[in-house]
Amino acid sequence: MDKNKKKERLFVVFIVSVVLTIADVAFVGINFWTAKAALDKSLMRRARSHMQGIEIAVAITKRNMLQLAFHYADHDDLNQLFLQGKKGLELEGEGSATATAVREAMLQRVKPGWDEMTEQFDVRQLHYHLGLGSLSFLRVHKPSKYADRMDDIRYTVVDTNLEKKARMGFETGRVYSGLRGVVPISTIDPDNNLKTHVGALEVGTSYMGILKHIDEIQGIGSAVLLTKQHAERNMWPEEIERRFGGKLQNCECYIEASSRSAVETKEIILATKEIDFLGSVSALEIIELAGKYYIVYRTPLRDYRGELDASLPVAGSTVIWDEATSEITNFHQDIQLNIIYGVIGFIVIELVLFFAMGVKRKYHEIEQLVGLDGLTGIPNRRDFELRLVNEINRARRNNQTLSVVMCDVDYFKLFNDSYGHVEGDECLRQVAKSLANSLGRAGDYVARYGGEEFVFILPNTSIEQAVTVTEKARIAIECLAIEHKGSKVNAVVTMSFGVASTIFSDKENVDLINVADECLYEAKSVSRNVVVSKLV
């Protein structure tokens, strides 16, 4: 009888042991997948925030290049020389002595200032093109190369010469790839006293300065890669050899620009196994290199023509990598602890419950980089408040006008009710990007103030100028054409704006935020999708 009871107890112990083993395994497995999912989500959010910072910087840089091109195109003495050179080519042919003399005169006129600008600022290319199409007349950055046609590769120039409208975008030329701004050039022809289109002027820069600047601020590696097909289609073979040396074997691509050394960049790219650097889909991979873990995130890079036609092959990739050794090591340690606690719990179930609660950790998503809003990638309210204090002090010292703009999305709550919070977040991201792109000067500033509210700081900007900038932003938002069936003012998403402006001198502090907010309230009370301003 005692033997039977003993057998029964052993059988019960066995069954309990099996159940506990299954429970422990399940417990460890559930914790593993939960922590892994949280880690993956956190790292993806972090990578996208880094990439969005690059995208915003690129958009601002392209607009800066366009502004600089307009600046040079505003010198009519240069435009008159350009017209003389064009006429010389038309009358005398390719070896035109007139064109050669004009080219030298333009170079002597422009190059000293251009050399100083390239030394002080992040610009690289100044190029005069004759139309129709794109015939190189003068590369200020490489004056020995001219008279080559680029009709089949420089579509920003071709479109500018064809439509007489400014263009900007990323393109690869015979020598360089760059972020380019292209403007039409016209002047009065002294022979007939008529305004004549002469050609196009291009100003460009590389990704290098952007990537290095972001690396200095955020401490992330980044690179721009060009596909072998794209580079060989556009560039002179000798320039490919001079600039790149050789392609990366595992992605059939060249390193166009990188914030880190070529050695480190190649090691990172070669260590990735799952990312398709030639594809049209973004991807993230965790790699291990020299005892450290990195997240590598890639998005497709499209040039000017590819942005107009998504069916064209991508030009390459924008890649960021960020060390994540601490996070992934902690993850591994947590999994090991789970196993240890599971074994302890197999012996004493009370301890396993206690330690399971202690071991089970979820990684919190990294909502924002220092000073950046986690959703939109533009500066957050904290950064704005610090920036505003600095700008007020600067305006007071220099006795300058300072303008502040408050704005928010009309009927955004109804938008969320109609489309859900996921679409609402995407709407805010698009609005933030459009607002950033609408600002013209390097000193202009946009931040997310909170919720659907955004704020501008426009240094040294009069009330009239501020209203003009704001009206441009209002139209840009409306032109996004984001459907909003819940709106009571329009079928698409719109924004209301309040503008406050003052000249700081010895007067007491003016609460520009409060005044701009009152103007915004008035705009929303009047009709929404309008700009209301006040000078104080």
Residue positions annotated with a catalytic role: 452
**138 φ, ψ (degrees, to nearest 5):** -150, 115
Where b means 16+ CB within 10 Å and e means fewer, 172-194 reads bbbbbbbbbbbbbbbbeeeeeee
Measured CA to CA, the distance from residue 355 to residue 353 in angstroms comes to: 6
Of 258, 230, 254, 250, the C-alpha closest to 241 is 254
Tokens for 142, please give them.
């490489």
Burial class (CB in 10 A: 0-12, 13-18, 19+), 486: middle
**Which distant-in-sequence residues (6+ apart) come within 8 Å of 450 by Cβ?**
381
Q: Which residue shows structure tokens 């950055």?
A: 141
Query: Six-digit token pair at 523?
Result: 């705009």
Main-chain dihedrals φ then ψ at residue 269, nearest 5 degrees: -65, -45
b vs e for 359-383, b when ≥16 Cβ sit within 10 Å of the residue's Cβ? bbeebeeeebbebbbbbbbbbbeeb
Q: Look at residues 246, 243, 295, 245 and name the one whose alpha carbon lies nearest to residue 268.
A: 295
Helix axes 463-479, 421-438, angle to 10 degrees: 140
- Are the beta carbons of 107 and 85 closer than 8 angstroms? no
Q: Report the relative pairing of strands 292-301 and 253-258 from DSSP bridges.
A: unpaired
* CA dist list (Å): 314 to 144, 251, 255, 302: 31, 13, 15, 5
